[in-house]
Amino acid sequence: MNPLTARPHVVIVGGGIAGLAAAYFLRDEPVRVTVLEGSSRLGGKLSVSEVAGVAVDEGAEALLVTRPEGTGLIADVGLAGERMEPGTTSSAVWTLGALHPLPRRQFMGVPSDLAELARSGVVSGAGAARASQDLELAPTPRDGDVPVADYVGSRFGVEVVNRLVDPLLGGVYAGRSSDLSFDATMPALAAASRRYPSLAEAAASLLPPPAPAGDQDRAPAGTRSGGSVFTTLAGGLGLLPAFLAKASGAEVRTAAMTRALSPRPGAPGAGPGWRLTIGSAAAQELIEADAVILAVPARPAGRLLAGVPGASAAVAAFGEIGYASMAIVTLAYPRPAFPGAGLAALGWSGYLVPTVDGRAVKAVTFSTVKWPHLAGSSASGPEPLEIVRCSVGRIGEEALLQRADDDLARLAAAELAAATGVSGAPAAYRVTRWGGALPQYTVGHLDRVARIRAAVATQPGLAVCGAAYDGVGIPACVATARAAASQVMGYLRGGRQ
* Residue 370 in the binding site for ligand FAD (CB under 6 A): no
Q: For the CB of residue 14, give the shortest distance to ligand FAD in the complex, in Å.
A: 3
Q: For the CB of residue 271, give the shortest distance to ligand FAD in the complex, in Å.
A: 24
Quote the CA–CA distance of 399 and 402 in Å, as a whole number.
5
Q: For the CB of residue 239, give the shortest distance to ligand FAD in the complex, in Å.
A: 14
Q: For the CB of residue 97, give the shortest distance to ligand FAD in the complex, in Å.
A: 28
* Residue 415 in the binding site for ligand FAD (CB under 6 A): no
* Residue 472 in the binding site for ligand FAD (CB under 6 A): yes
Q: For the CB of residue 297, give the shortest distance to ligand FAD in the complex, in Å.
A: 5
Instruction: Please select the residue that binds ligand FAD; options are 108, 202, 400, 474, rule is CB under 6 A.
Output: 474
Which range in 53-61, 181-189, 309-317, 422-430 contacts ligand FAD by CB under 6 A?
A: 53-61
* Residue 108 in the binding site for ligand FAD (CB under 6 A): no
- Cβ within 8 Å of residue 486, ≥6 positions away: 25
Instruction: Please select the residue that binds ligand FAD; options are 8, 9, 12, 19, rule is CB under 6 A.
Output: 19
Burial of 48 (0-12, 13-18, 19+ CB in 10 A): buried
Instruction: Please select the residue that binds ligand FAD; options are 8, 15, 302, 334, rule is CB under 6 A.
Output: 15
Q: For the CB of residue 398, give the shortest distance to ligand FAD in the complex, in Å.
A: 15
**3-state helix/strand/coil string of 155-195:** HHCHHHHHHHHHHHHHHHHCCCCCCEEHHHHCHHHHHHCCC
Instruction: Please select the residue that binds ligand FAD; options are 22, 23, 33, 46, rule is CB under 6 A.
Output: 46
Which range in 148-156, 289-297, 337-345, 378-386 contacts ligand FAD by CB under 6 A?
A: 289-297
* Residue 243 in the binding site for ligand FAD (CB under 6 A): no
* Residue 477 in the binding site for ligand FAD (CB under 6 A): yes
Q: For the CB of residue 137, give the shortest distance to ligand FAD in the complex, in Å.
A: 34
* Residue 60 in the binding site for ligand FAD (CB under 6 A): yes
Which of 118, 468 has the CB closer to ligand FAD?
468
Q: For the CB of residue 143, give the shortest distance to ligand FAD in the complex, in Å.
A: 30
* Residue 36 in the binding site for ligand FAD (CB under 6 A): yes
- Site size with ligand FAD, rule: CB under 6 A: 36
C-alpha Rg value of the chain to the nearest Å: 24
* Residue 14 in the binding site for ligand FAD (CB under 6 A): yes
Q: For the CB of residue 160, give the shortest distance to ligand FAD in the complex, in Å.
A: 24
Binding mask 244-283 for ligand FAD (x = CB under 6 A): -------------xx-------------------------
Q: For the CB of residue 389, give the shortest distance to ligand FAD in the complex, in Å.
A: 9
How many residues in the chain? 497
* Residue 86 in the binding site for ligand FAD (CB under 6 A): no
Q: What are phi and psi of 56, to 5 degrees?
A: -130, 135
Which range in 34-42, 91-99, 101-109, 190-198 contacts ligand FAD by CB under 6 A?
A: 34-42
Report strand pairing: 83-84 vs 230-233: antiparallel
* Residue 466 in the binding site for ligand FAD (CB under 6 A): yes
**Residues near ligand FAD (CB under 6 A):** 13-19, 36-39, 44-46, 59-63, 257-258, 295-297, 300, 326, 328, 434, 437-438, 466-467, 472-474, 477
